[in-house]
Amino acid sequence: MRIAVISDLHLGRHDTVDPFGHDDSVFLRFLRFLESNFERIVLLGDIYETLTARAPRRQEAELAAARAAHPELVRRFAGPQYHYIHGNHDLVAGRVLGAPEELVLEADGVRMLFTHGHRHDWVIRKARWISEASVWAGAWLRRLQLRAMFRALQAVDLRLSGALPDPARCTFQRWAIERAHQRDADIVVTGHTHLGLRVEHGDRLFLNSGTCSEGQFSFLSLDTRDGRYGLHTSWAW
Ligand SMILES: [Mn+2]
């Protein structure tokens, strides 16, 4: 089976704090490219940005507004090739759209676990409001054009997430591989960190899809028939 994975689009209201940063018509061409080259397309969380409302705690309304702002993409995502797994910025999609937190697919004798990855962060697990408040405050810094402060907040966030390219020091990868053992998966596929990676851990493979926000194109290709698994940052094949 040929599977493509994209994550962390952060589709917002199409306003000044919408982190998506793509022209929707260009992104549609990218989706058509994926649809014609892959049998399944996994949307691996943080597809929508619901934590940056002007007033906090209005996630359901933000989800509706983000979907209304990107109608062509939403229509595309409803197609039969797509699987939607929620993340922490679109947690509410679990309740509203029935998006699960994890998905296991098995093909050609390969077992794959798809999970966004926010369950690794103890702040999100134990005190989700702290992380949601910091995202919300970050959006206000952007609105007020305090970009330097916003970037400083982002840097702190990345350090807290424990995501590093070095597999020996990366607690995120360690958590993901542990999760793969628990679910008996050969491959664990994550998003969340915006750090696209492909790292072998003994007999298990760790993959991260990076991000399609801020105008970036990043996706994973999984080919279970040929045993080829790759990370891509452009799609002009
Ligand atoms: Mn996330």
Per residue in 13-49, pLDDT tens?
Answer: 998 878 899 999 999 999 999 999 999 999 999 999 9
Task: Look up the CATH number of the domain holding residue 70.
Answer: 3.60.21.10
- Mean local confidence (pLDDT), 73-85: 98
How many CB atoms are located within 10 Å of the residue 226 CB? 8
Position 231 scores a pLDDT of 98
What predicted TM-score, i.e. pTM, was given to this entire model? 0.90
201 in a structural domain = yes
The boundaries of the domain holding residue 210 are: 2-232
237 in a structural domain = no
What Å distances lie between residue 210 and 117, 130, 184, CA to CA?
Answer: 12, 24, 24
Rg (CA), the chain: 17
167 in a structural domain = yes
11 in a structural domain = yes
Task: State in Å: Cα 88 to ligand 1 middle.
Answer: 5
220 in a structural domain = yes
212 in a structural domain = yes
Residue 158 has pLDDT above 70, yes or no: no
The domain total for the chain is 1
Position 159 scores a pLDDT of 66
Record the tokens describing residue 149, joined without a space: 């402060």
Position 160 scores a pLDDT of 66
Those residues whose beta carbon sits under 5 angstroms from the ion ligand 1 are 46, 87-88, 118, 192
| 8 A C-beta contact, residue 102 and residue 37 | no
Rounded to whole angstroms, the Cα distance separating 60 from 185 reads 33
Task: State in Å: Cα 8 to ligand 1 middle.
Answer: 7
